Amino acid sequence: MITTDICIIGAGPVGLFAVFEAGLLKMRCHLIDALPQVGGQLSEIYPHKPIYDIPGYPSITAQELINNQMEQIDPFKPTFTLGERVDELQKQEDGSYIVIGSEGTLIHCQVVVIAGGLGCFEPRKPELENLTTYEGKNVHYMVKDPEKFRDQRIVIAGGGDSALDWTIFLSDIAKEVTLVHRSDSFRGAPDSAEKVFNLAQNGKINLLLSHNLQRLNGNGHLESVLMTNKSKEEVVINTDHFIPLYGLSPKLGPIADWGLNIDKNAIEVNTFDYSTNVERIYAIGDINTYPGKLKLILCGYHEAALMVQSAFKYVYPEQKLSFKYTTVNGINAF
C-alpha cells in the first residue's frame, strides 16, 4: 500500500505542476499514469513539437518543458507508478480513497486529482482509400522525430494548431511541405495561421485550401496523394510521407464509471476550486469542462494552483491555510 496526501491520475504537464503547487503547501503527491513515462501527450505524441505560449519561453519543445518541470518538482520528491491504468476508486469511512491500479497497485490518499488530459485517446483518421496500406510506413498520426522527415517530401493535412505548428517547424527540415485543408480558413491560432500564409507567399511551402483528400497512391510505398479542389478537379501531389493531424478522439475509460458528472467525455467542475461533484475528487487540465474552458497548458497550471488550495483542508483538516513570513539571513521564508 502506497500512502500519500494526493494521488494524481495523469503525469502530464498539468499533473506535474500540481505536484509543485502541492509541495509548496507541504503536501506529498503520488502520480499514476497508463503511459510508460512521464509527460503525457507531450512526451508520447509530440516530444519535439515547439510550444509558443509558455511564459518566459518564446519557444520550447514539449519534451524540454517536461524535463524542466521534472527538475522543478524534484525537491518535493514525488513518487510515480507508470505504465498502469487506474481501474477503481474505493472511498473509505474517513472520506479518504484507495486508488486501485490495473496491475494491483494500491494507493491510499486523502485527495484524488484527475489530470488525465484527454483520457485514453486515439488519433482521428481521415476516410481515405488505401490508408491502412501505408500505416506504419509512410502515414504518420504524430511527429515523434522530425529528423525522419529531413530532405523528404511531406503532405500535412489539417487546420488546427498541430497542423499549423508542424508545417512551420518542418518547413526548415523537409525538402517540400504541402499543407492541405478542406476549408478556406484555419481553426488554429491566428498568429500561426499568419506564419503559414507568409511561408506560402514566400514559396517555402505549398498551401492548398478548400481541397478534399480522396486517395493515397503507390505500389507498396506511398508515392502521391490524390485530392479534389473546389471545382471538383483532381490534384495529385507527389510525396514521401503523409501526416494527417485531425486531433485525438478522447475516451474516458474507467473514469466514466466513478459517478462523476460527465459532459461530452469531459468532467464537469466547479471553477472555484476545480472540484467535481464527488467530494475530495478534483479534475484539472484538458479532462475537465466548464463555461469558457480553454484547453491550454497554461490554463491547466492555473487550475492546479487553485485546486491545491482547496485540497489542503482534507490533508490538514485542523490547520488553516495561512503563511507567516520570517527573514532568515536576509531571505524571506515561511
Rg (CA), the chain: 23
Distance CA(145)–CA(53), nearest Å, equals: 22
Spatial CB neighbours of 97, under 8 Å, sequence gap ≥ 6: 7, 89, 90, 91, 108, 109, 110, 111, 112, 280, 281
CB of 249 closer than 8 Å to CB of 121: yes
Distance CA(257)–CA(329), nearest Å, equals: 53
Distance CA(227)–CA(236), nearest Å, equals: 6
* b/e burial code for range 9-20 (CB count within 10 A of at least 16 → b): bbbbbbbbbbbb
Q: From the annotation, which residues make up the binding site for FAD?
A: 33, 41, 46, 86, 121, 286, 327
Distance CA(279)–CA(208), nearest Å, equals: 50
Q: From the annotation, which residues make up the binding site?
A: 33, 41, 46, 86, 121, 286, 327
Q: 233 forms bridges with which residues in the sheet?
A: none
Q: 251 forms bridges with which residues in the sheet?
A: 119, 120
Task: Provide the pairing of β-strand 248-251 with 120-123.
Answer: antiparallel
Q: What is the dihedral of CA 302, 306, 308, 309, to 10 degrees?
A: 150
Task: Provide the pairing of β-strand 60-61 with 79-82.
Answer: unpaired
Cell numbers 530532405: residue: 151
